[in-house]
Amino acid sequence: MGGVSHTSLSPLPSSDRADITARLRNALLGASFTADGLLDLLGAPAYAALARSETVPALRATRGDTPLETLVRLFLLQQPVPYARVADVLPVEDALECGWLIRTGGDEVAASVDIRPYGGPGGEDWFIVSDLGCAVGGAGGIGSREEGVVLGVGGASTTLAGITVRTPVGSALDLGTGSGIQALHVAQHATRVTATDLNPRALHITALTLALSGAPAADLRQGSLFEPVRADETYDLIVSNPPFVISPGARLTYRDGGMGGDDLCRTLVQEAGDRLNEEGYAQFLANWQHVEGEDWQDRLRSWVPRGCDAWIVQREVQDVTQYAELWLRDSGDHRADPADYQARYDAWLDEFEARKVKAVGFGWITLRRTAAAEPSITVEEWPHSVEQPLGDAVREHFERVDYLRRHDDAGLLAGHFRLVAEVVQEQVGLPGAEDPEHVVLRQHRGMRRATKVDTVGAGFAGVCDGTLSAGRILDAIAQLVGEDPVLLRDRTPAQIRLLVEQGFLEPVE
């Protein structure tokens, strides 16, 4: 998310001295300034408190003078530290020359940016750079209301990173790169990475994040949405954690899209289709309006561009008062003058009232470019817990869409299936009853779905190990329960299709 550089924000370190950045990285790693090192030093409670923007526990845990404690106070807690202590850990003169550190008077130095250790999915030791006091959001607000401020890694960032499909690709686009966390992830499996942002400060910080993490440089471009992308450029993967907040105006560019209502998210989704290569994925976080008299699922279906399959998951819904309060806290307005707070709150409610918005949904949108004559669009609500990372589950969802599209009922009955790992069966009924009222199959991985099945469906799923065709299994069940096998074959494919679609059964081809 991005905006315009603001003169009162701190000057940023130089991104041109790769030698000094490499020396700084080696020094940080040498002092165990890593995600694991922080957890060992601070302990779980203080480490978790940092993610809530609470620093007191970490301050108490870093009262010593070890190299790691020095770095935590300097870069995470933004405390001035004596020059001599820093010189024992870092190439301090080089860091001062390049702007990573600044002199604060006397014999102390301070950080010019927040540097936060971040563990990559393969155990990589990465560092996320952001503006001072803006490493995360949280109930206390970000600590700065400058419009060009660049935030670090929050819950939305890690959610998007977790749901992204991680297959090797030739080209990837991180649209609205912010501090560069998505670009850092995709650099591990994309040959060419382009990262864009409206805010030139964000592009500078992304360059720092990539360099300090030892990742390849990205092609950095300034501009809004797809403006920096040439008309003939297409990608295998597009990811975006855009400024999706539905707000009255665009006061904070890292979060406020500057378009009316949910138009920014709609525009982003609609324009992505033409930017994807065949079989390419576009994955976004988004907010959408629940408008009086309109089905929210129909609203989102209308966003999906032609030639794309889509899987849209609504994770949360807030009424307009909850939504306004969330983002007023995010920007620290709850700590401002009460009259200003009330005026801003009123402005949010006026905006929603004018648009007949009764609630706002939050969730994930995944598109996949397809040549299929009839694209598949799935829009669902799933507020329950899931198991991240979900990138493989997203990819498998679309693979199942392809399979079901290729197979009619006769094809399903001829197919072989296997019950996926870690699915359990629950029987629900009155105590002492001879037969259950219904049977539930429940996943313990991925989306952690649960679905009701009848006794035939439960029996069918239970014996699916890939050896027998679905039709042969149904014939055996028909003989066991004394049912006409032809009738059973006629009525069961819909249930098989549902179990495949929801990921309980996987085709064995």
Mean pLDDT value across residues 21-41: 97
The radius of gyration of the chain from alpha carbons, rounded to an integer in Å, stands at 26
More confident of the two residues 477 and 138: 477
Q: What is the pLDDT of residue 164?
A: 98
d(C-alpha 186, C-alpha 194), whole Å: 10
Summary mean pLDDT of the chain: 93
Calpha distance 175→228 (Å, rounded): 10
Structure tokens that stand for 306 in this block? 């032609």
Q: What are the phi and psi torsion angles at 245 (to 5°)?
A: -65, 130
Determine the residue type at 2.
Answer: G
Work out the end-to-end distance of the chain between its first and last CA atoms, rounded to an integer number of angstroms. Answer: 43
pLDDT tens profile 349-369: 999 999 999 999 999 999 999
- Name the band, by pLDDT with cuts 50, 70 and 90, for residue 67: very high
Contact 286, 244 (CB under 8 A): yes
Do 417 and 471 contact (CB within 8 A), yes or no? no
Q: What is each CA distance from 97 to 3, 79, 100, 424, in whole angstroms?
A: 27, 20, 8, 60
Task: Render 340-399 in DSSP notation, one character per residue.
Answer: HHHHHHHHHHHHHHHTTEEEEEEEEEEEEE---SS--EEEEE--S---S--HHHHHHHHH
Could you tell me if 445 and 421 are in contact, meaning their C-beta atoms sit under 8 angstroms apart?
A: yes
Tokens of 112: 């010019």
Q: What is the pLDDT of residues 416-454, one digit of tens each?
A: 999 999 999 998 888 887 777 889 999 999 999 999 999
Pairwise CA distance, residues 271 & 43, whole Å = 45
Q: pLDDT tens across 188-239, in order? A: 999 999 999 999 999 999 999 999 999 999 999 999 999 999 999 999 999 9
Q: What are phi and psi of 113, to 5 degrees?
A: -140, 160
* Residue at 68: amino acid letter: L
CA distance 202 to 411: 51
The sheet carrying 377-381 orders its strands as 219-222, 190-197, 169-175, 235-240, 276-291, 357-369, 308-319, 377-381
pLDDT in tens, 150-178: 999 989 999 999 999 999 999 999 999 99
pLDDT confidence of 251, banded at 50, 70, 90? confident
pLDDT score of 133: 83
Cβ 470 vs Cβ 496: under 8 Å: yes
CB-CB neighbours of 88 under 10 Å: 13
Average confidence (pLDDT) over 272-281: 98
Question: Is residue 145 very low, low, confident or very high in pLDDT (cuts 50, 70, 90)?
Answer: low
Q: What is the mean pLDDT of residues 308-321?
A: 98
SS3 category, 467: strand
For residue 136, the model assigns a pLDDT of 60
Cis link prior to 168 (omega < 30° from 0)?
A: no
pLDDT band at 137; cut points 50, 70, 90: very low
User: What percent of the chain lies above the pLDDT cut of 90?
Assistant: 85
Q: Which two tokens stand for residue 197?
A: 């942002």
Dihedral, CA atoms, 272, 278, 283, 286, nearest 10 degrees?
30
d(CA 269, CA 384): 25
